[in-house]
Structure 1
Amino acid sequence: MSEKTKTNSSSVVSLTMGILSILIPFLGLLLGVFGVFASRKATKEIEATREDGRGLAISGLICSSVGIVMQLFVVLGYIAFFSLTTVNVG
Structure 2
Amino acid sequence: MDKSIDQGGYRNGYEERVLNTKAVISLVLGCVSLLLILLTLIGLVIAIIGFFVSYVSLKEIHKTNQQGYGLAVAGLTCNTLAIIIPLLMLIVSLLFFTPAEMRMF
Give the alignment's TM-score, normalised by structure 2. Answer: 0.66
The answer (yes or no) to whether the contact 1:39–1:60 under 8 Å persists in 2 is yes
Alignment partner for residue 17 of structure 1, among 24, 29, 36?
29
- CA–CA separation in structure 2 for the residues paired with 1:28 and 1:71: 10
1:31 aligns with 2:46: yes
1:8 aligns with 2:20: yes
- Give 1:62's aligned residue: 77
Structure 1 gap ranges (5+)? none
Query: Whose strand proportion is higher, 1 or 2?
Result: 2
Match for 2:47: what amino acid?
Answer: G
State which structure, 1 or 2, has the greater radius of gyration over its C-alpha atoms: 2
Query: Whose helix proportion is higher, 1 or 2?
Result: 1
Higher relative contact order (CA 8 A, sep 6+): 1
